[in-house]
Amino acid sequence: MTSMHRSADLFRNAPLLGVTVVIVAIMGLCLTAGGAWLAVLGGSLYYLVAGLMLLLTAWLLARRRATALAVYAALLLGTIAWAIFEAGFDFWSLAPRGDVLAPLGVWLLLPFISGRLEPHLRAARWALGLVLIVAVGVLGVSLARDRHDIAGTIPEIGTTGAVAASESAPPGAGENWTAYGGTGLGTRYSSLGQITKANVKDLKLAWEFRTGDHKGPDDPDEITNQATPLKIGDLLYTCSPHQIVFVLDAASGKLRWKFDPQVQHNKAFQHMTCRGVSYHATKPGAVTADGAPAPGDCPERIFVPTNDGRMFALDAQTGAPCGSFGNHGQIDLKQGSEIQTLGFYEGTSPPVTTDKVLIVGGAVIDNYSDRVPSGVIRGFDIYSGRLIWAFDAGNPDPNEMPSASHHFTAASPNSWSISAVDENLGLVYVPLGSSSPDIWGGGRSPEKERYDSAMVALDIMTGKLRWSFQNVHHDLWDMDMPSQPSLVDLRSSNGVTPAIYIPAKTGDIFVLDRRDGHQLVPAPEKPVPQGAASGDRLAATQPFSDLSFRPRNMLTDAQMWGSTMFDQLACRIKFKRLRYEGPFTPPSEQGTLVFPGDFGMFEWGGIAIDPQRQIAIANPQSIPFVSRLVPRGKDNPAAPNATHPPGTELGVQPMYGAPYGVDLGIFLSPLGIPCLAPPWGNIAAIDLRTHKVVWQHRIGTIRDQAPLPLPFKLGVPMLGGPIVTAGGVIFITGTMDDYIRAFDVSDGKQLWQDRLPAGGQATPMTYQAGGKQYVVTVDGGHGSFGTKLGDYVRAYALP
């Protein structure tokens, strides 16, 4: 009988077996072809062998040979052994290696398949059955324990071995929440304790307010509401994506007043967001920076920066612009820069308010050109808006003021994130980004390199540099200092040390003495990969903090992931085709795997610090990026044109003024899921006495990202940080699934969660009003992050 007649007979007499043969053969062909490609690239031989064994299985099934079951049993057993060898007993790493083969093995044992095979070899059926039982056993073992989990316990205050509360601990927020990070120290700690580990499960929605500020047709994709509200007295202050200020009754959520700065909707803006507002109260007998008596208007004022480069000062009680400030209540932050293109300089984060000085940074458009506005940091008189000082990081004299003959340095390092302040020391701590363009440094001056991606401590009154610490030298990976630093006094038998904790995109947390910048936790310089693109250069070493969430070992193709073995194979091929030699592998035309990616293991949400317990709460994430330099050509011209407008941070970025553009993207499988195995997001506690991680757990599910609402706890990326309270409770909302969660500070166990109506990509806050503690979250979603957009401000309280 010919093979054609045999196939026709198979489909006529055993159609299910015939369909099975076709499916197994297609699987075998895909694995064989992809496996051969991976083998040529130096990857695992497993896929090639598995593909050949599937083809043999399909051939034997087509001939109705029962030995097909024995061959498949051998394949499945080999797959189990190989999977354990590569991934250990980690369920989510094992899953894509067996989630197709194991169900197919069950299918082959069903009577309408195995019953059609000859001769009726019981041994072959038993062999396959036993291997499937082994697979179930491996599944059970892998589910019993998460090998990425760190279990530990922080002693309660007052127990043996615990840190006792001390009057020397820095104050946290309490009844009020007066600054983005609770206070200017940026600890995100509240001394309130009405909500405790015992009763947090009883939290209910107390009130909900909707701003009505939604994405319009002329807005960029990167529209977000990342605001952490402030609470002073009986009022709650927040803002929406178009920087509209909303002031609510703190107890009821009812609107008291709002202010709309009339920001233009413009797709060319790279961002449309508001992270919050700032507050200042005039003290009795206060004077201006010039020594004159403080003006009588606006004894309490709210400052809001806008994405079109303005700063407003508003009366905190009425919302009326403060007439004594600037030009009828506003100043133009684009002044002093030669380039003033709308949207190229954006105020996205709240400024620092001190007794006399308003300290302002801003976001400069990423990777568009070397001819963009300056990232200068400026100090203004907090009452009049008069420019007092400047710190222009790209200028040989960073304190040079603008004049008729001098503009601030174009494309100098900027500070788009939130600063922290210690008024007792007279210092403001400013996290700086990199010079533009971010991914090419061949044309950077030594002055632009000095403070690139650094933390600078500036004198509040003069703007003069007190000290600096650079987290990445000659940054080609967009490794800005992304987070507000946290200031805490460390207590030990040797006394009290004023420290600053600096989370970095690299996953490092640098710990310095905030008086002079010397290291409290070692961050030695270590050699890094070399081989820059033509015309660029590289630093020979980079700092690696001993306190870090960066993986200690290099990635391997065994860590590549997928929902099935097929997209996992595609990810392994992509990985092997990219240039990757560990952290700080330089950008290349080949394409470079950047891990940690420029999304950052830490972002603007920062960490939370409990100064009483002497612990820090962190939420690191792990998402690789791909950076590919694109030579100039028809699709990547050397000068701006209408086909390459600004307005995005992903895809091909033009980097005008450099010999390359850059194609940036997340390292994803063909199905659009991360190629790196989870967890992609964790929550962890650090003991500040030892600087060791005490506990760490996955956080977040794929419910709102998967095609079906599956509550699988893989640990997902986040935008937004945690807060911690004296009641021993951690709150966080930033995960890609729409939840607010509460955790036990002692061991990290989840105590409570509630469903949010939109993405909670913001840091929550807490306060007291009318004798009741509230927890407030802003749920506006995030355009490029892919979470549901909304316009919600929600408050929770105990019944």
Catalytic residue among 478, 536, 687, 779: 478
CA 522 – CA 535 distance, rounded (Å): 33
Report the relative pairing of strands 723-725 and 189-190 from DSSP bridges. Answer: parallel
Neighbours of 208 (CB within 10 A): 12
The 3-state DSSP class for residue 722 equals: coil
Beta pairing partners, 279: 302
CA 5 – CA 751 distance, rounded (Å): 65
- CA dihedral (29, 32, 34, 40) positive or negative: negative
Residue 478 bears catalytic tag: yes
- CA dihedral (533, 535, 539, 544) positive or negative: negative
Residue 391's contacts (CB-CB under 8 Å, 6 or more residues apart) are 376, 377, 378, 398, 399, 430, 456, 458, 463, 464, 465
Q: Contact at 8 Å (CB) between 330 and 320?
A: no
Q: In the numeric block, which tokens belong to residue 336?
A: 């002093």
φ, ψ of residue 18 to 5 degrees: the values are -65, -45
Overall size of the chain counted in residues: 799
Q: Contact at 8 Å (CB) between 20 and 113?
A: yes
In the Cβ-directed half-sphere of 45, how many Cα atoms lie within 13 Å?
2
Q: Which of 188, 242, 244 is nearest to 219 (CA)?
A: 242
Q: How far is CA 727 from the centre of its chain?
A: 27
E runs forming strands in 369-494: 377-381, 387-391, 420-422, 427-431, 454-459, 465-470, 486-492
Report the relative pairing of strands 660-666 and 651-653 from DSSP bridges. Answer: antiparallel
Residue 552's contacts (CB-CB under 8 Å, 6 or more residues apart) are none
CA 187 – CA 195 distance, rounded (Å): 19
Q: In the numeric block, which tokens belong to residue 663?
A: 């194609």
CA 252 – CA 345 distance, rounded (Å): 37
CA 575 – CA 559 distance, rounded (Å): 10
Q: Which of 558, 134, 648, 147 is nearest to 366 (CA)?
A: 648
Cα three-residue angle 759-418-353, rounded to 5 degrees? 120
Cβ neighbourhood burial of 437 (10 Å; 0-12, 13-18, 19+)? buried
Residue 33's contacts (CB-CB under 8 Å, 6 or more residues apart) are 51
Q: Contact at 8 Å (CB) between 619 and 684?
A: yes
CA 583 – CA 625 distance, rounded (Å): 12
CA 478 – CA 620 distance, rounded (Å): 17
Beta pairing partners, 359: 352, 379
CA 698 – CA 685 distance, rounded (Å): 12
Q: Which long-range contacts (CB under 8 A, 24 or more apart) does 631-637 make?
A: 631/589, 631/659, 631/660, 632/659, 632/660, 632/661, 636/660, 636/661
Q: Which of 728, 518, 719, 712 is nearest to 617 (CA)?
A: 728
CA 182 – CA 179 distance, rounded (Å): 5
CA 577 – CA 559 distance, rounded (Å): 15
Active site residues: 478
